[in-house]
Amino acid sequence: MTNSTSSDVSKYRFVNTIDGRAVDSDHYIDVINPATGLVCAKVPEATPDQLNEAVAAARRAQPAWAARDIPERRRILGLIAKALIDNRDELAHLIVLEQGKPMVRALDEVTRSVEQLNFLMAIDLHDDHLVDSNDRPVRIHYEPLGVIGGIVPWNMPLVLGVPKIVHALYTGNTIVLKPSQYTPLSSLRLGELITPLIPAGVVNIIAGGNEIGQLMSEHPDIDKISFTGSLRAGRAVMRSAAGTLKRLTLELGGNDAAIVFDDVDPEKIAPSLFRGAFANSGQICMAIKRLYVHERIYEPVCQALAAIAKRTVVGDGTSKETQLGPLQNKTQFDMVSGIIDDARAAGGRVLGEPDNAEKLGGYCIRPIIVADLKEGTRLVDEEQFGPVLPVLKFTDTEDVIRRANATEYGLGASVWSKDLDRAERVAERLDAGTVWINYHLGSDARVPFGGSKLSGVGVQYSLEGLRASMQARAIYSPAPID
């Protein structure tokens, strides 16, 4: 049976993966190609009963999976990495269709998924050895929690989904993974590809909307939810999980500030600033969302960024000329369009729009720079998650630190200066989980990633992130009894 409405995906039979089986449904989700606004595929929508089957399968499979030693888990994760590499072009094609990003960026997403997988499984999982106040040895032993529920957003379906699988499997857990209802194609296809490589029930991948996500958060047999998404959805997950007091890792939104001092060359740093703000059409939680520039170089930075925006090609990700794709869905398109209208109405100076530009199709929005705005406008105060960047002027270091920190979010930030000592001092005072110096964007699975304030709970990646999927057990070892 073919569930596709487009010849681009007609060879695929998208299915849910439950207990090592391909599972269909009587109900389907339309998947929209954001470059056209048209349905490109249909996927089976998992029912509550099928969710229960997936959780039960994961529960059955978990003890045997946990009993496998670390080298064996690494071996099987290596097979998953090889499946990603061997099917890179195919998976990237599906990402372009469902998410909209250019093909080169989709290929990078698959490659990055493999890189993060390899980094994570190279981390040494070990017990800790301590000594208590009576000089008795104490061993901290770490056991898997059991079944992990992974909920993945639509902006980067594989690079945010694959690490959730690795966090779970490498630490001896099993997983039920739910991709976004907007971008399920690459994840469902991944489920099919890895099914022959892993024991049945260890990885279950199901498509569904908010109802399935809520049921996962409430489910008594899911021991932890690993969620990446919006603040609004993260709050809903936390409320739903409260009844079972399950563990949570929540990586939520950001309103990341970048601070640019006056000792840098505007022309030289503009391309890096632009990438930090507009990669994936601004649909990255840790992208630059507010740019603070010292008054001495304010106008040159604005003009340099505007020049890049003007020549950036926006369109269908399948075109080789496309540099930025569309917004992923109409809800996001409408929201970002509304924020742009609000910025214009607030007196913002809009830069970077091409002269006599043709109307774009689908959910495409050209990148723009908005100068001369201040705090109190939507574009500055809210997370836009789209290709529009406010540039704000500052003169005083203390003042700009205060303004950068004046947000409910705290995911990322960056400082740009030739004076690295000053950059370090400012970085230490920015209230964010990650601060970059002289660049912005990029995470490494060997380094903890998470936010402060409303940007999340807990961290992903690193030994700390892996242990968040495990239970610490303190074992005191006094002298033996005679």
User: Which positions are annotated as active-site residues?
Assistant: 251, 285
The residue with tokens 């090592």 is 20
Cβ proximity of 462 and 125 under 8 Å: no
Distances, alpha carbon 62 to alpha carbons 67, 94, 148, 227, 436, in Å: 9, 30, 10, 21, 38
Closest CA to 27 of 8, 50, 7, 10: 50
Distance CA(1)–CA(54), nearest Å, equals: 22
* Distance separating the N- and C-terminal Cα atoms of the chain: 71
Residue 355 vs residues 13, 309, 343, 403, 451: alpha-carbon distances, Å: 44, 12, 20, 34, 40
Residue 448 backbone dihedrals phi, psi, to 5 degrees: -60, 140
CA distances from 390 to 292, 365, 375, 394, 435 (A): 9, 16, 10, 13, 19
Provide the 8-state DSSP code for 229.
Answer: S
Residue 196 tokens, joined: 């022959």
CA distance 93 to 458: 33
